[in-house]
Structure 1
Amino acid sequence: MRTSIQEIERGLIDRLDHDTNILIDVSSQDQFIRSLATTLNRQLKILRQKSIQYQNGEREVQNAISSLSHDIRTPMTAIYGYIELLEKQEHTSASKRYIAIIKKRMEILAQLAEELFQYSVSASSTIKMKKEPVLINSALEESIAAFYGTLIDRKITPNIQICETKVIRMLDRSSLSRIFSN
């Protein structure tokens, strides 16, 4: 019986240390020892499932933080543009003060977005992105096309020159799209 308990102890320690799917096995035919091994194996399976759920949840949170940090930058850039346009207009002293307050708040927001971005980069270094062959030329064209209406509305005529040589890289498509739109 002592040998069986030692087998269970070594097996349990090994399974917890190495995060393996191998179950604890005992050589004993004693029903109580085998029942103990079965109960421990059942609990190990539950523990593995909880660990996988935790890792998946953590990955989803990191992806959401990364997406959020990138997505905040686009409207912030637009707001900065509008602030610059406002600054070129004539103002009363009150409106100048309000613009200065808006600029200061935007700087704080930009700093927070940068901190969020830095956190997401450091936290997501362990997260695997779904890499696939991406034709960068087409991805860039699609991104520019998405802003074409806005550019025309603002009477901006872009001069776009994309090389004709196909540039294909193994990338996460949604991350590249977010980078281009930012």
Structure 2
Amino acid sequence: MQTILLILCILAAVYFAYRFFLLRKSIRKTSSALREITGELSENRIVKLPVQDACLEELLEAINENLTAIRREHIVYEKNERLLKEQIENISHDLRTPLTAILGYLKLIDKEHFNETDAEYLAIAIRRSETLQALITQFYELSRVTSHDFSIKKEPVDAARILREICLAYYAQLEAQQLATDFSLPEHEIRLLGDADALKRIFANLLQNALRYARSYIRVHVQKNNADGTISFFFENDILPEQMPADPGRLFDRFYMQEQSRSRGGTGLGLTISKTLAEHMGGSIEAACRTQDSETTFAVRVTFPCPYPAAASSLYL
């Protein structure tokens, strides 16, 4: 009798051990499947249990119900986001046309017969209209570059030439603001795989940002990173200590505004657009602040992979 009981106990122990092993293996597979499904919510998949177990099946049923609810919310969110971007594009287009006409008429006004006060009011109206025009254009561009169907060309471009052209285009504005410049721009090619128009927009936005907040100087330079074969473009300028952002990385967030660092009418859209375009080209962008010898410097670094060897790599700074 004792022998039979012992055999039964051993068989029960083996059974429960085997059952426990199967359940552990099943839970691991289920967890792996759940992680995959969470990463690809657009696919209409459910979590299944390889081994039958009433309690676990009840749990998985609740999980699948939650996944279905999350998918429905995700679909609604994407639809609303798409509609919002389309509305922004339409509104931007509708506003740009009459605003362009208004600016044209303002600039056609004969200022010779105006007194000093009226001429000043007209100049203010023109500046405000141009600011509004730039803002509307940025809204449109932001909705365009963040849409799901946005894509850029991938072809060889000379980033050094584009950077020189952008810096030259803003030379008059730099002089008007009496800013010292330190542009260390290579004369040789820097060939990247990307989109020339996107690169122009990135460089222009970063230089405009520096122009908006620079106190006395702007520095632009290029650096080759031999460790990973990337190319970095730096845009640096000095700022007031109270303009130092608490979290420089957040400056690339959509519509992020920090009163101390955004006190001159910036919207934050330019940096957001630059970040989005850089990522579309396989690059990255980051900002940093440092204080040394009572001088506070704000710097933006945009980095791209460089698939082509430089013609004269010794010219990099």
Q: TM tier, shorter chain?
A: 0.5 to 0.7
Which residue of structure 1 lines up, in the alignment, with residue 139 of structure 2? 116
Please report how far the alpha carbon of residue 124 of structure 1 lies from its aligned counterpart in structure 2 after TM superposition.
Answer: 2.5
Q: How many residue pairs are counted as aligned between the two chains?
A: 128
The verdict on how the C-alpha distance between 1:56 and 1:111 changes in structure 2, with shifts beyond 3 A counting, is same
- Tell me which amino acid in the other structure corresponds to 1:58: E
Matched, 1:93 2:116: yes
How far apart, in 2, do the equivalents of 1:123 and 1:17 lie? 20
Tell me if the contact between 1:8 and 1:37 (Cα under 8 Å) persists in the aligned partners: no
Q: Report whether the alignment pairs 1:73 with 2:96.
A: yes
TM-score (normalised: structure 2): 0.37
Amino acid at match of 2:50: S
Q: Percent identity?
A: 30
Evaluate the alpha carbon distance shift between residue 18 and residue 28 of structure 1 in structure 2; reply closer, same or farther with a 3 A threshold.
same
Does the residue aligned with 2:147 lie in a helix, a strand or coil?
Answer: helix
The alpha carbon displacement at 1:60 in A equals 1.8
Q: 1:84 to 1:42 in 2, by over 3 A?
A: same
Give the number of the structure whose alpha-carbon radius of gyration is greater: 2
Alignment map for 1:11-90 (pairs within 5 Å): 11-19=33-41, 20-87=43-110, 90=113
Structure with the bigger RCO (C-alpha within 8 Å, sep 6+) is 1
Question: Which sections of structure 1, spanning at least 5 residues, go unmatched?
Answer: 128-182
Q: C-alpha offsets along residues 52-76 of structure 1, whole Å, 9 cap, x if unaligned?
A: 1221122122112212221221121
- Answer yes or no: is the 8 Å Cα contact 2:103–2:130 preserved in 1: no
8 A contact 2:30–2:47 mirrored in 1: yes
| 1:81 Cα offset (Å) | 3.3
Match of 2:30 among 1, 5, 8: 8
Q: Secondary structure at the match of 1:87?
A: coil
The amino acid that maps onto 2:126 is K
- The structure richer in helix per residue is 1
TM-score (norm 1): 0.60
- Which protein has the bigger strand share? 2
Q: Deviations over 1:125-169 (max 9, x none)?
A: 536xxxxxxxxxxxxxxxxxxxxxxxxxxxxxxxxxxxxxxxxxx
State the alpha-carbon separation in 1 of the partners of residues 71 and 37 from structure 2: 10
Instruction: Name the residue aligned to 1:136.
Output: none
Root mean square deviation of aligned Cα? 2.4
Q: Which moved more, 1:98-107 or 1:85-94?
A: 85-94
Structure 2 segments unaligned to the other structure (5+ residues)? 1-22, 151-317
Q: In structure 2, how many angstroms separate the alpha carbons of the residues matched to 1:30 and 1:84?
A: 78
Cross-structure match for 1:176:
none
Secondary structure (helix, strand or coil) at the match of 2:114 reads coil
